Chains A and B, each alone.
Chain A
Amino acid sequence: MKRIRWGWVAVAAPPVIFIGYFFVYPLIRILVLGLSELSVGASGVEARLIRVGWFTLWQATVSTVLTFLAAGPLTWAVSSFEFKGRRLAMALATVPFVLPTVVVGTAFVALGWQESIGAILAAHVFFNVAVVVRTVSTLWSRIDPRIQEAARVLGASEWDVFWRITLRLLRPAIAAAASIVFLFTFTSFGVILILGGFRYATLEVEIYRQAVTLFDLPLAAALAIVQLVGVSGALYWYSRYQERTAVSWTLERGTNLRRPKGRARTGVLFATLGTLIALAIPLSTLVSRSVTGTYYQALFRDDPVVGVPAHSVLNSLVFAVAATLLATIIGVLAATVITGRSGELSRWFDLTLMLPLGTSAVTIGFGFIVALDWPVDLRATRWLVPAAHALVAIPFVVRSTVPTLRSVPAETRDAARVLGASPFRVWREIDLPIVSRAGMVGAAFAFVISLGEFGATSFVARPASATIPTMIFRLLSRPGQTSFGMAMALSVVLAGLTAAVVMAIDRARFGELGSF
């Protein structure tokens, strides 16, 4: 006799409904529409598609590996040590992640890096370092140091401890970060268009070209399916890997940060400064170009063409708060479902939640247009913007929460149950405290994703309120020193806002530790 567990239904329903309505349903509608007209493609197309597919795959793989190499030193430093400027360093490393590609593209071009595969890879690393640093350090800083100490006592060298213990324990977080970076670079669009041009097209660029420029919907739909299959394959492998390698161990409730001493001190100094300087080079061109006139003051003046540019900050913040709330609630519920149930169903659910990251923004945007006039017409309403942002942000919340949830030993929950706790009480007393901290990492990402206007919003009809990125784009697409200067100034404001928000969220997380 199986009893329906209403508690589970209540937890699972919101994420299932959300992802079903805002992702699966529009995706199916647009693909069916595209494929229903499919005929045999023109000759010569296949050769280009094979080239595009291969380029997409290898550049994403190489970008992911390079991002890990670049992020490694800083991740080590912020995960192991407490030092002055640690939180600031983490916040600064997050800034590139949110900058509009057109701005970063301008900065890279100003440095003379363009039209090359090197520029593309460098930009991908620049954007994604934050994903690795933040995702991996959450887990790393909370490894029980007694495990490593025990190994040292038994004669293991520092290297052995790192290679055999730390890295093994970190595998779920590494896989999580790798999957996100891979998906982001696999679907890279703006970076490729600006720095690579037509020669280095990814599937994402090709889908845009076929759908928007040439209106070859059947071919675009076929490409979207190729992209989906590739992404699903990578994700399926990843989710099996993650399940296999998750190790339950007693996670520390707080972080285990030491003060660096001796050689470690030098190491931390080099790792932190080195990374920040490298990230600062492209950023510094923005800052230096923004201060050559009175451009910051100009942001508050009523421009004859674009209005008061500073108003876009308010619009962005409103959307970001809404998207963050939505993504965090849905994401944490989804993570609870995924970790609470093992097996195929939960694996497919997990995979579906990740898919929006690997689906072309054009596909999702056009899907909204054909599908979301039912049951109520949501197209071109305010609701669409936070929903579209949340779609991209939920995977971050899920990915930063699941590894932490998985590492809670089942015995802890069992013990609570034996002692008579209700399922809700178990969740509230055991899972929630752990989840809320990991959830904050995801929330920070959700917030900056919305600030940066990721995803389908650039391809859908939406309410007419300019956000920071669209205002920057607007200013950058008209001639004149002031236009350019204001665009740079607004980019610096966006960077500063990102850093401030991320630091505030990190601090909130830190303060909360006192309650345990």
Chain B
Amino acid sequence: MRLIPRISTATLVLAVALVGCQGEEQTEIPETLTLISHDSFVESAGDTFDAFTTETGIEVELIPAGDAGSLVNQAILSKDNPLADVLFGVDDSFLSRAVNEEIFEAYESANIDTVDEDLRHEDNLVTPIDFGDVCFNYDKEWFDQNDLEVPNDLDGLTDPTYASLTTVEHPATSSPGLAFVLATIDVYGEDGWLDWWAEMRDAGVNIANDWNTAYYSDFTRYGGGSSIVMSYASSPPAEVIFADEPPETAPTGVIEAGCYRQVEFAGILDGTEYPESAGELIDYMLSVEFQEQIPLTWFVFPANQDAELPPEFVEHTAIPESPARLAADEIAENRERWINEWIGVMEG
């Protein structure tokens, strides 16, 4: 029993010491930097940050914060006392909200020149790290067996033969679903996109609530009735890598029409005690060393053009040449209206 008061005194001293440490400017290198991101990034990260630790002596602690939307909201809610030093995983659809709330400190990475101009943020408030294309996938075996041509543009898809074989995700409940709706707006413009959807509706397109249902239940490859589903450009390589026995060629292919590009950014959270080290971490994330690990770890494409793609990505998929993309501000302003208009047409 005697021990108890002594322990609490010790804890108190420690606590006071810790509190005393806070609030100082960065005068030395921190032991640990924290990086907050969405669950899927953190859970796959493995040893991808080890090289940074070896190089700088700084440990990187990763904090998962739910999905991409939940991540950005948490960063905004905690902006007076940030949860981490760096945030990674904000994409175009949430970027303008994060920018308006002023959660980021601008930073121009030493490696930014390796990135295509189109991907960069104009004020360097955030740094592009990777991009992924949401694209239609088709079941090669099914198309072979049924002796059917694969459609190669969105207009061709409205043919009832194809539309009734197609599954897309609902834009209100699924992120690839929303991305594809944005793609149709980019392709057909505000005046024409709903007409395209009305044709698809009449021709019998199938709508799934989420990617999971679309891919693992509705796709002919997994026993469903659709041989064309909205998925990712990286899905065919994944089919090869995560197959029971890796096949020679991917069982699925990508249709380049109707792809939408999602870019993911990293940013220094305003209020961090270690802005300089946080900048180094972002430089590392944009270095060839880290960037070349991106495809096989997260199944998206590296933003750094000097990074080489692994053979699976070279052989089994293609990076679409001119994917659709809308400005972050435009998305933030119109998303709710677009979704409602889409629902009006598709669900009447």
Question: Could you mark each residue 101-119 of chain A with 1 if its beta carbon is under 8 Å from any beta carbon of chain B, else 0?
Answer: 0100110011000110000
Residues of chain A contacted by B36 (CB below 8 angstroms)? 380, 461
Which A residues from 452 to 470 make CB contacts under 8 A with B?
458-464, 466, 470
On whether the beta carbons of A480 and B213 are closer than 8 Å, the reply is no
Question: What is the minimal beta-carbon distance from A52 to any residue of chain B, in angstroms?
Answer: 13
Residues of chain A contacted by B61 (CB below 8 angstroms)? 464
Residues of chain B contacted by A211 (CB below 8 angstroms)? 73
**Is residue B23 within 8 Å, beta carbon to beta carbon, of the partner chain?**
no
Residues of chain B contacted by A485 (CB below 8 angstroms)? 244
How far, in whole Å, are A198 and B67 apart by their CA atoms in the complex? 18
Which B residues from 75 to 97 make CB contacts under 8 A with A?
76-78, 81, 83-84, 97
Which A residues from 353 to 377 make CB contacts under 8 A with B?
362, 365-366, 369-370, 373, 376-377
Residues of chain A contacted by B215 (CB below 8 angstroms)? 479
On whether the beta carbons of A482 and B244 are closer than 8 Å, the reply is yes
Contact of A373 among B39, B70, B81, B172 (CB under 8 A): B81
**Is residue A437 within 8 Å, beta carbon to beta carbon, of the partner chain?**
no
Question: Could you mark each residue 192-204 of chain A with 1 if its beta carbon is under 8 Å from any beta carbon of chain B, else 0?
Answer: 0111111100000
**Is residue A410 within 8 Å, beta carbon to beta carbon, of the partner chain?**
no
How far, in whole Å, are A505 and B268 apart by their CA atoms in the complex? 48
Mark the stretch among B109-117, B120-128, B188-196, B234-242 that contacts chain A: B234-242
Contact of B296 among A114, A304, A481 (CB under 8 A): A304
Known: A212-B70, A307-B46, A478-B299. A462 touches B239 (CB 8 A): no
On whether the beta carbons of A193 and B238 are closer than 8 Å, the reply is no
Known: A460-B65, A461-B36, A474-B44. A369 touches B242 (CB 8 A): no
Residues of chain B contacted by A213 (CB below 8 angstroms)? 69
Known: A212-B73, A479-B242, A482-B243. A461 touches B209 (CB 8 A): no
Which B residues from 35 to 69 make CB contacts under 8 A with A?
36, 39-40, 42-46, 61-67, 69
On whether the beta carbons of B40 and A212 are closer than 8 Å, the reply is no
Which B residues from 217 to 237 make CB contacts under 8 A with A?
217, 222, 231-232, 235
On whether the beta carbons of A477 and B211 are closer than 8 Å, the reply is yes
How far, in whole Å, are A473 and B64 apart by their CA atoms in the complex? 14
On whether the beta carbons of B66 and A102 are closer than 8 Å, the reply is no
Contact of B343 among A114, A198, A370, A479 (CB under 8 A): A198
Which A residues from 15 to 36 make CB contacts under 8 A with B?
33
Question: Could you mark each residue 284-316 of chain A with 1 if its beta carbon is under 8 Å from any beta carbon of chain B, else 0?
Answer: 000000000110000000001111000000000
Known: A461-B64, A474-B43. A484 touches B216 (CB 8 A): yes
**Is residue A241 within 8 Å, beta carbon to beta carbon, of the partner chain?**
no
Contact of A110 among B78, B217, B244 (CB under 8 A): B217
Residue of A nearest to B15 (CB): A376
Known: A369-B78, A370-B78, A484-B216. A209 touches B242 (CB 8 A): no
**Is residue A483 within 8 Å, beta carbon to beta carbon, of the partner chain?**
yes
**Is residue A214 within 8 Å, beta carbon to beta carbon, of the partner chain?**
yes
**Is residue A379 within 8 Å, beta carbon to beta carbon, of the partner chain?**
yes
On whether the beta carbons of B231 and A479 are closer than 8 Å, the reply is yes
How far, in whole Å, are A293 and B243 apart by their CA atoms in the complex? 10
Interface centre among A199, A471, A478 (most CB of B within 10 A): A478
Question: Could you mark each residue 263-280 of chain B with 1 if its beta carbon is under 8 Å from any beta carbon of chain A, else 0?
Answer: 000000000000000000
Which B residues from 248 to 294 make CB contacts under 8 A with A?
252
On whether the beta carbons of A464 and B173 are closer than 8 Å, the reply is no
**Is residue A270 within 8 Å, beta carbon to beta carbon, of the partner chain?**
no
**Is residue B170 within 8 Å, beta carbon to beta carbon, of the partner chain?**
yes
How far, in whole Å, are A466 and B296 apart by their CA atoms in the complex? 19
On whether the beta carbons of A476 and B65 are closer than 8 Å, the reply is no
Residues of chain B contacted by A365 (CB below 8 angstroms)? 66, 70
Interface centre among B36, B44, B70, B170 (most CB of A within 10 A): B70
Known: A366-B74, A379-B83, A461-B74. A194 touches B209 (CB 8 A): yes
On whether the beta carbons of A466 and B43 are closer than 8 Å, the reply is yes
How far, in whole Å, are A466 and B208 apart by their CA atoms in the complex? 27
**Is residue A215 within 8 Å, beta carbon to beta carbon, of the partner chain?**
yes
On whether the beta carbons of B77 and A366 are closer than 8 Å, the reply is yes
**Is residue B161 within 8 Å, beta carbon to beta carbon, of the partner chain?**
no
Residue of A nearest to B101 (CB): A215
Residues of chain B contacted by A377 (CB below 8 angstroms)? 81
Contact of A106 among B78, B212, B231, B235 (CB under 8 A): B212
On whether the beta carbons of A214 and B336 are closer than 8 Å, the reply is yes
**Is residue B347 within 8 Å, beta carbon to beta carbon, of the partner chain?**
yes
Residues of B in contact, count (CB < 8 Å): 58
Contact of B40 among A370, A458, A477 (CB under 8 A): A477
Measured as residues with beta carbon below 8 angstroms from the partner, the interface class of chain A is 35 or more
How far, in whole Å, are A370 and B40 apart by their CA atoms in the complex? 24
Contact of B172 among A209, A474, A476 (CB under 8 A): A209
Contact of B64 among A195, A214, A462, A478 (CB under 8 A): A462
**Is residue B199 within 8 Å, beta carbon to beta carbon, of the partner chain?**
no
On whether the beta carbons of B66 and A459 are closer than 8 Å, the reply is yes
Residues of chain A contacted by B66 (CB below 8 angstroms)? 365, 458-460
**Is residue B297 within 8 Å, beta carbon to beta carbon, of the partner chain?**
yes
Residues of chain B contacted by A102 (CB below 8 angstroms)? 212
Contact of B83 among A105, A194, A199, A380 (CB under 8 A): A380
Residues of chain B contacted by A370 (CB below 8 angstroms)? 77-78
On whether the beta carbons of B238 and A478 are closer than 8 Å, the reply is yes
Known: A114-B213, A212-B70, A370-B78. A197 touches B170 (CB 8 A): yes
On whether the beta carbons of B97 and A215 are closer than 8 Å, the reply is yes
Known: A379-B83, A460-B65, A462-B64. A369 touches B238 (CB 8 A): no
Residue of B nearest to A214 (CB): B336
How far, in whole Å, are A483 and B63 apart by their CA atoms in the complex? 24
Known: A370-B78, A481-B242. A306 touches B43 (CB 8 A): yes
Contact of A197 among B62, B63, B209 (CB under 8 A): B209
Known: A106-B217, A307-B46. A480 touches B243 (CB 8 A): yes
Residue of B nearest to A199 (CB): B347
How far, in whole Å, are A202 and B293 apart by their CA atoms in the complex? 41
**Is residue B210 within 8 Å, beta carbon to beta carbon, of the partner chain?**
yes
Question: What is the minimal beta-carbon distance from A508 to any residue of chain B, in angstroms?
Answer: 30
Interface centre among B39, B73, B170, B211 (most CB of A within 10 A): B73
On whether the beta carbons of B242 and A483 are closer than 8 Å, the reply is yes
Residue of B nearest to A373 (CB): B81
Residues of chain B contacted by A466 (CB below 8 angstroms)? 43
How far, in whole Å, are A480 and B69 apart by their CA atoms in the complex? 26
Which A residues from 150 to 173 make CB contacts under 8 A with B?
none
Known: A114-B213, A481-B244. A215 touches B73 (CB 8 A): yes
Residues of chain B contacted by A471 (CB below 8 angstroms)? 43
Residues of chain A contacted by B299 (CB below 8 angstroms)? 305, 478
On whether the beta carbons of A193 and B173 are closer than 8 Å, the reply is yes
Residues of chain B contacted by A110 (CB below 8 angstroms)? 217
Residues of chain A contacted by B222 (CB below 8 angstroms)? 484
How far, in whole Å, are A110 and B299 apart by their CA atoms in the complex? 26
Question: Could you mark each residue 378-419 of chain A with 1 if its beta carbon is under 8 Å from any beta carbon of chain B, else 0?
Answer: 011000000000000000000000000000000000000000
How far, in whole Å, are A211 and B343 apart by their CA atoms in the complex? 20
Interface centre among B76, B173, B235, B238 (most CB of A within 10 A): B173
Residues of chain A contacted by B46 (CB below 8 angstroms)? 305, 307
Interface centre among B77, B211, B297, B298 (most CB of A within 10 A): B77
- Offer 5 A-B interface pairs, CB within 8 angstroms, sorted by A: A106-B216, A197-B209, A212-B70, A478-B238, A480-B238
Q: Give the interface of A toward B (CB within 8 A).
A: 33, 102, 105-106, 109-110, 114-115, 193-199, 209, 211-215, 293-294, 304-307, 362, 365-366, 369-370, 373, 376-377, 379-380, 458-464, 466, 470-471, 473-474, 476-485
Which 9 A-B residue pairs are closest in the complex by CB-CB distance?
A480-B242, A212-B69, A198-B172, A461-B65, A479-B238, A197-B209, A479-B235, A482-B242, A109-B217
